[in-house]
Amino acid sequence: MAAINEYTIDKKYHDALIEWQRKNFPDIGLLEKYWDVYFPNDPAWRLTAKLSEVKADLINQGKYQGVKKYATAREMKGSMLYQALRIIKAQCSTELGSIQQHMDTVNTCYTDKAKFSVLRIMAEEFRHAYQMFWVLSHDPSWSATGSSRIAENTLDELLSMNTGSHVLDAFNIPFTDSLDNVTFACFIDRVGRFQLTMQEEFAYAPMAASMRPMLKEEAFHLKTGWEVLKEICEMAAVGEGPWTLEDIQKKINLWYPRALEMFGSEEGGESNLEFSFKTMSNKEAIGGYIKEIEWLLNSLNAAILQRRHPELSKEQVRLMAKETAILRLPSTRFLRFRSGEGIHESTFDVDGNRISPFEYINYLTRVLPEKLCSTEYFKSYTDRIRQALPSMTAA
């Protein structure tokens, strides 16, 4: 990997983020104390902005193809500037939002190794948020574009957000047990890996130079999600562990639709290509993500079957897994909030069949995690359905 340079942000931003961490992530000291116990082969975590060389010096696609990547914000004009700002803001919101979600249940992880792996994920997400503030605050020309105090205003807005008010809906869902920590890392952090990979070609050079160090850390998040979820599935296969296969399926039903919507509308993303902020349209990225998740589910099913049938060869299990879908991905139409249809017309079951809006709420309580259905998040969503159909108020 190319050499990494490390930087700190201005003291006023640094101190504000540390104050946020003390309130929202007080266990970071515990992670630092036991880092060498659980991660003896990895460099200790440090709160810095990390930059590598950009993947390419020139913009290689879109409207400004062949132009040198922009070193300062003032070089971006009009809507390009504000779209870049929205992407950076959304990226930072996801990092802070995930920490708040993980914190609710990290102390209930069923093993110490799983707990400290989640704490490491949280610490690295905090560094990623710090990274995004470096992108905004190190370059005074953000404010020279006509919008003063961009870094200050963005910092104030992001640090005031809580679960329920973040930019993307996946980061507004409360975790109800530590299976959420694991499934989230497996499904949602995988979307993050797609986004960071696409943003390696970002036309604004400081953003592009941030991606490789973040991707290296993101790899640990995906590894943790996959390995712990696989272990949980193997235990559930023979009736062991804290969760059943039905519990796991319900978590997949929740997080997979939220992951898909993180990419945006399937018809969108063209301006990101035009401005060289990303390398794929939303539809292309979604397709790649689905293919990867289908492989992951097949591998989990194979692990379940191998645990149940240890006498079978890996090849026999692999073939059986293709024919025996124990865990399944719900339809891409299920639980989609961004549908172009009205909310009362977006009521599809996990198989993609439209069901009556009058039956939909009760149906969701059967296929989503039970604890989620007693949260304000679920109530807010089902209230929107009831408001769209006044005759459902008695449902």
Q: Which domains does the chain have, with CATH numbers?
A: 5-329 (1.10.620.20)
Q: Among the listed ranges 5-9, 316-320, 326-330, 351-355, which one has the minimum average pLDDT value?
A: 316-320
Q: What pLDDT is attached to residue 145?
A: 58
The first and second tokens of residue 249, run together, are 């399926």
CA-angle at 306, arms to 231 and 334, nearest 5° = 65
- Residue 344 pLDDT > 80, yes or no? no
Q: Is 214 exposed, middle or buried (0-12, 13-18, 19+ CB in 10 A)?
A: buried
Q: What pLDDT is attached to residue 385?
A: 83
Q: What is the pLDDT of residues 103-161, one digit of tens each?
A: 999 999 989 999 999 999 999 999 999 999 999 999 988 876 566 677 788 888 889 99
- Per-residue pLDDT band for 340 (boundaries 50, 70, 90) equals very low
Q: Which residue has the higher pLDDT, 217 or 336?
A: 217
Q: What is the pLDDT of residues 11-67, one digit of tens each?
A: 999 999 999 999 999 999 999 999 999 999 999 999 999 999 999 999 999 999 999
> Whole-angstrom Cα distance, residue 297 to residue 300?
5
Q: What pLDDT is attached to residue 337?
A: 77
Q: What pLDDT is attached to residue 343?
A: 58
Supply the mean pLDDT for the chain: 92
- Per-residue pLDDT band for 268 (boundaries 50, 70, 90) equals confident
- Residue 205 pLDDT > 60, yes or no? yes
> Whole-angstrom Cα distance, residue 62 to residue 76?
14
Q: What is the pLDDT of residues 350-383, one digit of tens each?
A: 999 999 888 999 999 999 999 999 999 999 988 8
Q: What pLDDT is attached to residue 395?
A: 43
Q: What pLDDT is attached to residue 111?
A: 94
- Residue 392 pLDDT > 90, yes or no? no
Q: What pLDDT is attached to residue 275?
A: 96
How many Å is the Cα radius of gyration of the chain?
22
